[in-house]
Structure 1
Amino acid sequence: MKRVFAFMLTFVVCLSLSACDGGSSASIEPTIWVMSSIQRADDGAVIYCSANEKNHYVGADARDITCHISGSSIEILNNETSEKWSGTYRLLDSDDTSSIYEATIEDAVCQMVKGVTEYEDGTEARDTLILSCEDYVLNFFAQE
């Protein structure tokens, strides 16, 4: 669990330092979030990724997973199998470009961070949502 907390803290610090474009909002809704990767929390290994990310994560299985957020509700949907995980979330802290939330999904208490990912190669910055639960870390980008 310490590793997950350290990962989340590091991510929040990185977002704070790099997310300075001023054009992104800290709100996580109304947006459909598309999964880019799912990692094991214990070792960081990517076990699932989107079809678009498959060339970056050769050993990972491709999945079509989305996250829908509305009001104080969160729903994660496997679009291939129609399997759903539902819950609620609440805001813990935010600034102009990032937000930290606590989510309860099914019986798991998780942390969520919404921020902006900026790229050094000139690729346009993207809104990012990271959901960290006990066993897994789910990485999402805002649907384009």
Structure 2
Amino acid sequence: MGSTSALKVYIILAIAYQIGLFSPALTKFNVVIVNYLGENAILNLHCQSKDDDLGAHDLPYTNSFNWSFNVNIWKTTLYHCDMGSGDLKGHFDIFVAKRDMNRCGDDKCVWRVNRDVLYLYIIDVDDYVCQFDWPK
């Protein structure tokens, strides 16, 4: 490859990096879901994306389930979870790349599943904020 071609490739990559098509800080993400339903309450959890089925998990009180993944370059990565415990049952979009990449801290989204609502830690607020009610 000639020096002119190499320069063109470098410029294209630099522009793509600047406009956010890819970045090491944006590609890898972690999601953590913690059961805060109360003592003796098991959280039944099944999470998946279009490409990855993470399987079913039963989380005892204060236990967590977590996974890591790469956000695609179009930032359309989506993970949803079916959750339940007793009379509580719901389907929730747990990670939506364009919604969550900037509001979760340190490339990690931490969810607290309570009996009343689901809370997400929001970096700008430095606290957990209600995101979803359980369906009635």
Alignment TM class, shorter chain as reference: 0.3 to 0.5
- Higher RCO structure (Cα 8 Å, ≥6 apart): 1
TM-score by length of 1: 0.33
TM-score by length of 2: 0.34
